[in-house]
Structure 1
Amino acid sequence: MENLPDIVLPDTNNMQLCHFSKEIGPSITSDDFSPLIEEAYQIENFYNSYDNMQLNKRMCNQLGRCIIKAVYNVKMLQSQCNDDEFLTADNYEFFNKFLQNLKKIKHFIENISQIRRLKRFIQETNSGISLEQLKDEYFQLLKEFRESTLSLGFDIQIDNKIDDIYKDIEETIKFIQAFERNFEGDSMFSFIDKISDDIQNVANKELSEKDIFPEPYDNQNVRFIKCELHKMKRLSVQTALLKNLKGLVNISKFYGGIKHNNQMEMIIEWSQYGDLMTYYMNHKLDISIKLKFALEICNALVFLNAVNFLHRAIKSENILITNDLKAKIANFCHSRLVTEDSGKLDIKSTGYIVPEIYHRNTRTHYNTHTYTDRSSTYIPEKYDFKSEVYCFGVLLWELAHEKSPYECFDRDKIHQILYSNHLSKNFDKNLVPKKYVDISIKALCCVPKNRPTICDMYKELYSLYSLR
C-alpha cells in the first residue's frame, strides 16, 4: 500500500449527538452497538494490512482514507454509547447503514484492485472497453458514505480528486488492453477464471500418478527438472496450473511428470539457448533484447499474481530462453498458492535472497530495529508478492549488467548486499533506460510495503518496450 497523506480529522468536541424523542421498537443498549463497532474496526484492519493492491490505487486509497476517518469518529462515538439519548432504535439503524457502506467499500477495493475481479466492471464498446460502471459505482459509494456518516453526526470532508479517478481508469484500460494480448484470442478473464478454479479445486487433493502422467512428447524436444516428491498436494496445484497454460503468458509448456527414485521429474518444453544466465554469458545483449526479456518475465509474474500463485524461485537459472528467443519462467518445484502455509523456505535452493526471508531464516542481529518495530518499517516474515517483486528487481539488475548480483560476495556475508542497498548503489545507469533503473531500484527496497506492485512494473516495462 502507498503512503497516505496526513489526514485532517474533524473536531470531535463539536460532533453532533444524534438523538430522537420518540422510541421505536425494543430498547437499545450499548451491547447492541458493540459488535457493529468491532466490525468497523475489522474493516479498518483489512485496509491497513491489504498488501496486494495492483490496480486503481488512487481510488482505493481515497476510499481507504474514508475508512480511516470514519473509524476514528467511531472511536470518539464509543464514549457516547452509554448515553441514553444516543441509544435509540434510529441511531442503531443509522449505524447499521453506515457499517453496510463500509463493507461495500471494502469489497469494492478488493474488486477494483485485482485483475481477476475487474471482469464485472468491463463493458465492450465500439472503440474498445469502458469502465464507466466502475466510475459510477465509485461515486455512488462516496455519496452513500457521506449520507451515512452525516446521519451519525460525523462531519467528514472527502478530498475527491476527479483527475485521479480518470487517471486510474485510463491506466487500467491501457493495462488490460496490453496484457490481454497474451491470450491469443481467448478471453483473458475467462482464462484466468478457469485456471483459478482448477487450482482451487485440487488444492486439497492428493496427487495420483495418473493426474500428472505426461501427454505425448518428443524426447528430443523436452527437458527434465527434478522435484522432491514429499508434498503431493502442492504438486497437484502446480499440475493444475501448468497443464492448462500450454506455454502461454511466458511460462514454459508443461507436459507432465514421471516418478523416479522418490523424485518427480517434471517434463517441460526444450529451450535451445538454456537458461538466462547461460544465454547472456554467451551472447551480448542489446537494450531491445533486455527490455523484451524483462517484459516477458514480468508477463508471467503478472499472470501468477492474477491467479494468486507464487513462484518462490525467481532467478536467472529458472528463466529459459526458447529457440524463438522468448523468455519463459520454469521450475515450479517451490511454488505455492498464496493461501497455503509458507513453511520453511530454504534460501540456498530457491531464488534470490529476500531480506525478510533471510531475516526469518537466520535471525541475525543485523538491522533488528527494522523488523521489531511494527510501524511503517515493519517487515513481515512470510514470502508474498512483495517478496516476488524483490526477486524480480534483482533479476532486472542481473539482466541489465549481464552478471550475477552475488558473484563478488561470500554467501556468509550476504547481509552486506541486503542491508547496505549494494545493488541499488551499484546500478550502472548507462546500461538501460532511466525508467528501467528507477523501477528496479524501487523493487530492491528492503521495506516490502515500499516496493512497487508487479502491475506497476509491468506498466513501466511495457511503456519502455513499446517505444523501441
Structure 2
Amino acid sequence: MATLDSVGTAGKAASEVLINVGQIVPLVGIIAALFREIIALAEKAGHNKRFCRRLAERVRVANQTLAQIPIKDENDLALKNYVQAITNCKDFIEKISNSGTFMKLFTAHEIEAAYKNVTEELDVAINQLGLTMCIRTSKDIEDDRKLFLSEIKTSFQVIEEVTKDLYDIGMDVQQRFVAFEAKLDTIHTAVDNVSKGVITNNKTLENSKIPCNQITDCGEEDEEKRGHIVKKIYIYQTVAQKEIGHIYSLENSLQKSIELIEREVAILTELKNCQNIITFYGTMQRSGKLYIISEWAEKGDLNTYLKNHTETWEFKLRIATEIAGGLVFCHISNFSSSRKESDVTTKVKDITLRYRWLAPEKLENYKDNEYTKQCDIYSFAIVLWELAAQEVPFADVTVVTDLITKITSGERPPLIKDTPPAYEKIMQQGWQRLPIKRPTADLMFKELKSCYLKSLKPL
C-alpha cells in the first residue's frame, strides 16, 4: 500500500489510487486531481505543515478505500458531497499554509471555526459513502484538534516574534499582522513594478542612491577587504561596500541583471529594520561601478568565522536560532533566501561550494530556477551541520558529479559527537530527501530557540 510520503514529491501516483473502479468517470478524475493539488500544497506548506500532511493522509486513505467500491452512479449525491468536502480541504490547506491568507484568517478570527467546519464536513462525507474504515474515533478527533491548535499557536507565536521589532510597541498582534501585510504589499508591488515596467520608469534604484562622497575609506590600520566586500565609513559608522556590477554593462548588455538588482533593492529597502537581516543603507555609483552599502559584519561570514574559532554549543545554538529567525522572516515575506545562479550579486569562485548546500531536488533539476521554501529548509539543515562540525560539508569531495551523486542518493554528512539531541533531530528532519517530510521554518525556529534557552539555564 502506498503511503503519503511515497507519493509526496509529485503526487504522481494520485491518479492510480482510484484506477480500479470499473470505469473512469468524471467525478473520479476530479477526486484524483484534487488529491494531487492537496499533496502539492502540503509539500510546499510554509506553515502548519504537520497538520496539512495529516489532513492529506486522511484524504489519501479515504480515496484508496473508495477505489475498492464499485461506483454505480457518477451523480450519486454522496460522491458529490465527498468531492465538495475534499475541495474544501484543499482550500483550507492552501489558506493555513500560506503566510498572507494565514494572517488574514487570524485577524478575522475565522481559523478555528474554518477548521471545525472542514473536518466535520469530511467526516460526514466519508460516513455517507460508507467508508467505515476511514471514520475517525473520538480519540482521533481529539488528537487532530490538539495537533492543529499546537501548529497554529506555534506559527502565530513565531510570526509575532520575528516581526515585533518592525512596529510600534503599543500595537497588539492583530495590528502588527495588518501592518506587516501592508508592508508586504508594498514590497511585492515594488518588485512587480520592476518585473512589468521599463527600468527607467522605476525609481527603486534611483531612490536608494547614496552620494559617493559620503562613503569614505577607513584608516589604514582599520582597512579590511573580504573578496568583493570592502570595509568603509558612512555617516560615522562602519559599513560594507559590495561591488555588484558595472553600470555600462548592466544598462547595455545585461538588462535582466539590472532588473534583479532593482528587485533586490526593493526588498532590502523594506526589510532594513528586521533584526535578523543585515541592515541595508542604499546603493552607490562610483567610477562606472555599482555598489550595495550595508551593515558591516564585524566577525565576517559564517564559513570564515567557524574556520578560525572554536565555539561553545551555547554560541552555536544562538547563531542557529538567529539564522532560523531570518529564514522565517524571508518565508513569511514569501521570499526565498536561496541565491540563483544568475543573481548578479553572487560571485562564487569554487562552484562546488554552491552544490554542497543545494537540496537534492535542485541538484536533479538545476536548470529550474524556482527555489522553494523546502529548498531553503534543506540548505539551512546543512548550515546547522556546518555549525556543529565547524567545517564545510563534504569537504573531501572536489568533483561536482561525485557530490551530486552522494546527495541525491541520500548520503548526508556524518553526525557530530555531543550534538544536543533536539538540534540533531531538527537538522535530520530538515535534510530529508522528500520535501514533504521536512519541517517548516516556524518549527525549526521554535525548536532551536527552545534548545538555546535550555543551554542558558544552570545545571
Where does residue 107 of structure 1 map in the other structure? 91
Alpha-carbon contact 2:127-2:135 (below 8 Å) kept: no
1:65 is the counterpart of 2:52: no
- Find 1:180's aligned residue among 135, 148, 160: 160
The one-letter amino acid paired with 1:224 is: Q
Task: Give distance in 2, aligned partners of 1:422 and 1:48.
Answer: 25
**Which residue of 1 is the match for residue 357 of structure 2?**
352
1:461 to 423, 437, 448: 448
Question: C-alpha separation between the residues in 2 aligned to 1:434 and 1:69?
Answer: 33
State the one-letter code of the partner of 2:121: E
Please identify, of 164-173 and 415-424, the stretch whose mean Cα deviation from structure 2 is larger. Answer: 415-424
For 1:250, what is the secondary structure of its paired residue? coil
* Corresponding residue for residue 409 of structure 1: 397
Q: For 1:55, give the aligned amino acid.
A: H
- The answer for the alignment partner of 1:122 in structure 2 is 106
5+ residue gaps, structure 1: 6-11, 16-29, 125-130, 315-330, 335-345, 363-379
2:429 is equivalent to residue 445 of structure 1: no
8 Å contact kept, 1:116–1:189: no
- Whether contact under 8 Å (1:313, 1:352) holds in the other structure is no
Partner of 2:293: helix, strand, or coil?
strand
Give, in whole Å, the separation in 1 of the partners of 2:356 and 2:181.
28
Preserved contact between residue 48 and residue 155 of structure 2 (Cα < 8 Å) = no
Whole-angstrom distance in 2 between the partners of 1:104 and 1:353: 35
The residue type paired with residue 338 of structure 2 is: R
> What TM-score comes out, normalization by structure 1 length?
0.69
Find the partner of 1:41 among 32, 37, 54.
Answer: 32
Query: CA 1:347–1:107 in 2, change beyond 3 Å: closer, same or farther?
Result: farther
How far residue 64 of structure 1 moved from its aligned partner, in angstroms, is: 1.8
| Counterpart residue type for residue 108 of structure 1 | F
Q: How does 1:212-251 map to 2 (within 5 A)?
A: 212-213=205-206, 214=208, 216=210, 219=215, 220=233, 221-227=238-244, 229=250, 230=254, 231=256, 232-251=258-277
Please give the alpha-carbon distance, in whole angstroms, between the structure 2 residues aligned to 1:311 and 1:420.
25
1:295 is displaced (CA, Å) by 0.7
Matches within 5 A, 1:75-94: 79-81=71-73, 91=76
TM-score w.r.t. the length of structure 2 is 0.70
What amino acid maps onto 1:429 in structure 2? K
* 1:108, distance to aligned residue in structure 2 (A): 1.0
Is 1:300 aligned to 2:281, yes or no? no
Following the alignment from structure 1 to structure 2, what is the Cα–Cα distance between the partners of residues 262 and 2? 55
AA of the residue aligned to 1:237 = R
Kept after mapping to 2: 8 A contact 1:251/1:300: yes
Q: Which has the higher helix share?
A: 2
Deviation at 1:402, TM superposition (A): 1.9
Q: Give the aligned residue type for 2:443.
A: D
| Structure 1 residue aligned with 2:407 | 418
Counterpart amino acid of residue 212 in structure 1: L
C-alpha deviation, 1:120, in angstroms: 3.7
| C-alpha contact 1:280 1:402 (8 A) present in aligned 2 | yes
Correspondence for 1:394? 382
Cα 1:100–1:42 shift into 2, 3 Å: same
Identity fraction in percent: 23
Deviations 1:281-304 (A, max 9, x none): 444322221111111111111121
1:405 partner SS: coil
Q: Distance in 2 between matches of 1:262 and 1:447?
A: 46
1:275 Cα offset (Å): 1.5
Q: What secondary structure does 1:441 align onto? A: helix
How far 1:389 sits from its partner (Å)? Answer: 1.6
Which of 277, 288, 301 aligns to 2:314? It is: 288
* C-alpha distance in structure 1 between counterparts of 2:244 and 2:62, whole Å: 50
Query: In structure 2, how many angstroms separate the alpha carbons of the residues matched to 1:419 and 1:52?
Result: 19
Cα distance in 2, alignment partners of residues 236 and 185 from structure 1: 23
| RMSD of aligned alpha carbons | 3.9
Q: State the shift of 1:69 in Å.
A: 4.4
Q: How much has 1:99 moved relative to structure 2?
A: 3.2
Residue pair 1:397, 1:423 contacting (<8 A) in 2 also: no
Counterparts of 1:303 and 1:457, CA distance in 2: 13
CA deviations over 1:58-109 (Å, ceiling 9, x no partner): 432343234334545666678524xxxx75xxx46x6554433322211111
Cα distance in 2 for residues equivalent to 1:109 and 1:292: 32
1:420–1:264 CA distance, 2 compared to 1 (3 A):
same
**Structure-2 residue corresponding to 1:190:** 178
Q: Distance in 1 between matches of 2:307 and 2:317?
A: 17
Q: For 1:272, which of 288, 298, 301 is the aligned residue?
A: 298
1:259 CA displacement? 5.3
For structure 2, list consecutive stretches of 5 or more residues without a partner in the other structure: 8-17, 168-174, 216-232
**2:100 maps to amino acid:** R
Contact 2:359 2:378 in 1 (8 A): yes
Corresponding residue SS for 1:308? coil
Matched AA of 1:137:
A
2:124 corresponds to which of 135, 143, 147 = 147
Partners of 2:119 and 2:79 in 1: how far apart?
16
Cα separation, partners in 2 of 1:253 and 1:72, compared to 1, 3 Å: same
The separation in 2 between residues aligned to 1:4 and 1:137, in whole angstroms, is: 29
CA distance in structure 1 between the partners assigned to 2:444 and 2:4 by the alignment:
15
Larger RCO (alpha carbons 8 Å, 6+ apart): 2
Aligned-pair distance for 1:429? 2.2
Question: Is the CA contact (8 Å cut-off) linking 1:56 and 1:169 kept in structure 2?
Answer: no
Amino acid at match of 1:40: I
CA distance in 1, matches of 2:403, 2:355: 15
Cα 1:142–1:415, aligned 2, differ >3 Å: closer, same or farther?
closer
